[in-house]
Structure 1
Amino acid sequence: MKSVVWLFLTCFFGSSAALACSSDEDGCVESEQFQLSVALGAGQRSNPLYDGESFPMLLLPDFSYYTDTWFIDNGTVGYSLAQNDQFAVSLVMRLNSEKGYFQRWFAGNVITMNSSGSFLPPEVETGAERSMSRVSVEHVKKRPTAVDAGLQFNWFGEQWQSRLNLWQDVNSKYEGQNASLSWSRFWPLAGGQFDLSTSLYWKSAKLIDTYYGVGEDELYYLERYQGRASWQPELRLGWQKALTSRWSVLTFYRYLHLDDAMTDSPLVQDDSVQTWFVGMSYRFY
């Protein structure tokens, strides 16, 4: 498996040729151009787990860097295999974000910070045989940090774009796969730009079982659960309006629905994850 990761990273930083992208093309990022903006405001992402903490969204960085062959776009590193005005295919790598529900300051939640907390079990009677039907995230073992790698396909239109991602766990933490298909449409509205996005996520049974299953190696009084493959649809609404060349107002709302493969887990109390943000964005570059 290490050889696979090494080969993948070698492809990222190799010197093979790629299609050139001129700066005057619509929807095209100029080669070797660094972009950085920061949004300040109020918002949060809910946590569907019992005793899981919601993630506050007060400062949202947005950064990217593209060359003719490879790119960094927020948490994704990629290598372009082919591209033109309407289509692109890339090799990509990222941290899997599933651990973010279990550890508030996980790197996948924008900021990295060491988390601390009590992992002592709740008080139970000695010899109790009844399993707990509701399980706190504080009473299960630590969930792993997984690295995903795979393929990304992008399609571009005048007022829309679509993306397909196929991911494989490459550091053998959950030994499974996940995928997503998304479509976005843009309209001018109230002097700004309104966007509507729909996405469908598929997560393999091994991924769900690793993060939301409760196995024999957990504390004996917890209800056992073996994860199944999960389908999770999402809807996103957003609006952004430029005030100056650098300042703009930004707001968005996302609703992710969790199916029975998730909600049947004794760790999960809600059937959705809701994210919202209202604030101002400043573009540095």
Structure 2
Amino acid sequence: MSRNCLSISLGLLLFSLSGLALADSGCNQDEECIPVGQWELGLALGWGKKTNPLADYEDIPLYLLPSVAYYGDNWFFDNGNLGYTLAEDEHFSVNLTTSYSLDRAYFYRWDPSNIFIANGNNQAAAIATQESLRDQGPQPAIGALEARHFTLLGGAEAFFYTPMGTFRLALGHDLFDVHRGTEAQIKWAYKLALQRWRFDLALLLEWKSREIVDYYYGIRPGESRYWNQEYRAEAAWNRGAEFSGRYVLNEHWELLLATRYTKIAAEIVASPLLNKDYSSSYFIGAAYRF
């Protein structure tokens, strides 16, 4: 029986919120893998923070971060996402998957992207970010924001395994008819093992359709009639980088440092809800595998 394996980089698991972990067809001595039919449970404890680019929304603290994964012969579960492997060999794999977007996490502390984070104030008084508007003095205020509902994205992903790293192409569409939008991702990831040290680096591009940008960052008429007419959402490309370093203490414990930086697209930054053009995350702590 073939072995589906999950490369358990806890550092990247902490921040790979828009994509599944890598699935291989084999394991080597420098990788941690899940044999078919076994659950992988992990818990990271430490200190970290995720910068919130929304105006007047607090940054999100990170203290306790779980990871849960299960891989069967074809079906798999990975931190809240479900998938089915259509094709797999030494050089590539193709899966049907579900995923959830990062965008809603900025509005709600209890979003799946912010697990174990206490609820906070969800009122925003937005300011304009366009340079042309900053010079015009005070802008019309935005009232209490209406709900940004949760949804799952469903689609497909393909991994390509090369000596230069792993490449991931993914496409997902709204399954629950919340915003009817589509997301796509291009990601390159590279792993390096040096004795007890494990390093992971990733670069990614994320495309969001106009429907997604408008749903999360657009202004509804009930929030502000002025900004509802002034801001026009467009499709956008975010750029990101991730890095994690881990030191393996024993079979169960490891020390870790994980960071993520996202450069938010100008089309999103133009929304009056934002006052930053980036979001960054970091986490320092220890991780335990059950």
TM over 0.5: yes
Partner of 1:25: 26
Partners of 2:266 and 2:53 in 1: how far apart?
13
Identity across aligned pairs (percent)? 30
Distance 1:217 1:148, change over 3 A: same
1:244 CA drift (Å):
1.1
Contact 1:33/1:66 (<8 A) preserved: yes
Partner of 1:244: 250
Moved over 4 A (4+): 115-122
1:96 CA drift (Å):
2.8
Partner of 1:195: 200
Contact 2:41/2:289 (<8 A) preserved: yes
1:280 has 2:286 as partner:
yes
Partner of 1:7: none
Distance 1:201 1:131, change over 3 A: same
Partner of 1:38: 43
Partners of 2:187 and 2:141 in 1: how far apart?
32
Number of residues of Structure 1 aligned to a counterpart in Structure 2: 257
Partners of 1:221 and 1:151 in 2: how far apart?
39
| Larger gyration radius, structure 1 or structure 2 | 1
SS in structure 1 opposite 2:281?
Answer: strand
TM-score by length of 1: 0.81
SS in structure 2 opposite 1:57?
Answer: strand
Alpha-carbon deviations, 1:55-80, whole Å to 9, x = none?
Answer: 21111111210100200011211011
Structure 1: where are the runs of 5+ without partners?
1-18, 123-129
Distance 1:49 1:135, change over 3 A: farther
Partner of 1:154: 159
Partner of 1:225: 231
Partners of 1:232 and 1:120 in 2: how far apart?
23
1:142 has 2:124 as partner:
no
Partners of 2:125 and 2:53 in 1: how far apart?
21
SS in structure 2 opposite 1:146?
Answer: coil
1:121 CA drift (Å):
8.4
Please show how residues 261-280 of structure 1 align to structure 2 within 5 Å: 261-280=267-286
Structure 2: where are the runs of 5+ without partners?
6-24, 127-135
Amino acid aligned to 1:164: L
Partners of 2:166 and 2:140 in 1: how far apart?
41
Amino acid aligned to 1:20: S
Alpha-carbon deviations, 1:183-234, whole Å to 9, x = none?
Answer: 1112235840122110100000110011101133423455641211111110
1:170 CA drift (Å):
1.4
Amino acid aligned to 1:32: G
TM-score by length of 2: 0.80
1:257 has 2:263 as partner:
yes
Please show how residues 102-117 of structure 1 align to structure 2 within 5 Å: 102-111=107-116, 115=119, 117=121
1:94 CA drift (Å):
2.7
Partners of 2:122 and 2:190 in 1: how far apart?
45
Task: Decide which of 161, 165, 171 is 2:170's aligned counterpart.
Answer: 165
Cα RMSD between the aligned structures? 2.8
Contact 1:240/1:249 (<8 A) preserved: yes
Distance 1:188 1:67, change over 3 A: closer
Say which is worse superposed, 254-263 or 99-108, in terms of deviation: 99-108
Distance 1:134 1:60, change over 3 A: farther
1:120 CA drift (Å):
9.9
Partners of 2:82 and 2:116 in 1: how far apart?
17
Partner of 2:12: none
Distance 1:260 1:22, change over 3 A: closer
Partner of 2:190: 185
Distance 1:213 1:149, change over 3 A: same
